[in-house]
Amino acid sequence: MIDKENSKILLSVAILTYNRAQCLENLLESVMPQAEKLKKEVEICISNNNSQDNTEEVINRFKEKYPGLINYNKNKENLGFDRNFLLAAEMSKGDFVWTFGDDDLMAENALNEIIDFIKKNRKEEIGMIFSKTESYFINKGTGQKIIHSAGVDKNKPEIFKIDKEDIISMSFPEVSFISSLIFNNKFLKGFFKEDREIIEKAAGNLHIHMTLIVLMFLKYPNINGFFMNKRPLICQEIYLYKSLIENKFAVHYKEQKVLDSFLLSCKYMNGRYDYLIIKRDKKLKQEFIIDMITMRAFKRFEYISFFGCLKLFFKKTIFIDALLFSFIFLILFLIPPIVLTSLYKILLIIKYGKKWRFKWNIASYMSSFPAKVV
């Protein structure tokens, strides 16, 4: 067994899991063979949020197969996503913490690439590393894998710095995937130690990681963020139920509004960066409206209750936004879908240029399958 106390752990992979034993098993199958080759520099931390399925059985099987590599915790009760995230991070002893959702997969040799980058850039004050993600759908009828986004920006270098302002202004869905985030543990632990009151106030909105990213770069103004842009290091399946209007509103709009309000009132926010939060708030509103147009154009505008959506708008956002969303929501049902389809095509051409057809094909694919209500 490896003596972790006397080994220099460069990277902790902090996995959050709850009631997805099969997904977790698939993830560990992708992670553990890589970790074993780097066992003097890597540890795997798993925080089980009181799963009621056979999650613990899966973990014990991997602990037996890879002794000394897994640091495991099981909560006595379900603490919610945010607090389980914090526990997984606090368990981690590595210089850096790569947070992971249990339903994602790690690309082959990804650990080695991150470790190599950390070693070669010791002189840089790295606050965050962002990895690219390949997102995809699985055609449940044929089993075919359909790529939604490969993540790589071909106009950028394989590794590049990202401006602090760009990090602060990131919004859904850019940084909502925890598996693409690698935190410098020194700054993370510093925040846990010195700003527990802020963290506790922010916890409970399902996206504590987004809050931590912004606060880290506000508190530590000299740290740098880097994008690993050579290839996707994460593989993530996207589920069709995410196109439901209530889900879009709750995740992409409501949660970020709460986060933005919190950040604007935080002691580390100052006038220099206020405008970035306000700017991303406006962008968020525009994106939600485009989501509604897209879903109606491709007949994906499904909802639990028509009046339930209107009630949701007025209950969960400010009055003027609720009026705007309700008005658009009603108008969309008066416009024939064929007209909206043409409008959507124009929006794609304006936004993506020659790449518009790729986004079009994805929307067309999504419209061919019934959404899953959860």
Same domain, 84 and 175: yes
19 falls within a domain: yes
Q: What percent of the chain has pLDDT over 70?
A: 87
Residues 272 and 232 in one domain: no
The answer to the question of residue 147 being in a domain is yes
The answer to whether the beta carbons of residues 188 and 97 sit under 8 Å apart is yes
| Best CA proximity match to 270, nearest among 161, 126, 195, 164 | 164
Residue 373 falls within a domain, yes or no? no
Whether residues 39 and 25 share a domain: the answer is: yes
pLDDT at res. 5: 45
- Residue 1: predicted pLDDT: 36
pLDDT at 275: 82
* 32 and 177 part of one domain: yes
Domain that holds residue 309: 242-367
Contact criterion met (CB below 8 Å) for 72 and 46: yes
Q: Which of 213, 238, 263 marks a domain boundary?
A: 238
Residue 264 sits in the same domain as residue 119: no
What CATH number should be reported for the domain holding residue 109?
A: 3.90.550.10
pLDDT at 4: 47
Three-state SS at 334: coil
Last residue of a domain, one of 211, 238, 265: 238
Last residue of a domain, one of 188, 208, 238: 238
Say whether both 104 and 231 belong to one domain. yes
Domain count, the chain: 2
Q: Which helix (H) or strand (E) holds 71?
A: strand 70-74
pLDDT tens for each residue of 56-83: 999 999 999 999 999 999 999 999 999 9
In a domain? residue 256 = yes
Would you state the pLDDT for residue 61?
A: 96
Q: Within this chain, do residues 311 and 339 fall inside the same structural domain, yes or no?
A: yes
Q: Alpha-carbon distance 89 to 107, whole Å?
A: 21
Question: Residue 136 falls within a domain, yes or no?
Answer: yes
Structure tokens at 6: 């006397």
- Virtual CA dihedral for 114, 118, 120, 121, nearest 10 degrees? 130
The reply to whether 181 and 248 lie within a common domain is no
pLDDT digits (tens, 9 = 90+) for 136-164: 777 667 777 777 777 778 888 999 998 88
Residue 286, pLDDT score: 81
Same domain as 260, residue 180: no
Q: How does pLDDT run across 345-369, given as a tens digit for each residue?
A: 888 888 778 778 877 776 776 555 5
Residues 202 and 324 in one domain: no
- Mean residue pLDDT of the chain comes to 84
Dmax over CA atoms of the chain, in Å, equals 68
Q: Residue 182 in contact with residue 128, Cβ under 8 Å?
A: yes
Give yes or no: residues 122 and 150 share one domain: yes
Q: Is residue 374 part of a domain?
A: no
pLDDT at position 374 is: 34
Dihedral pair phi/psi, residue 12, rounded to 5°: -105, 130
**Residues linked to residue 135 through DSSP beta bridges, in sequence order:** 149, 236
Whether residue 214 sits in one domain with residue 261: no
pLDDT band at 110 (very low <50, low <70, confident <90, very high): very high
Q: 161: which strand partners?
A: 226
Residue 279: pLDDT band by 50, 70, 90 thresholds? Answer: confident
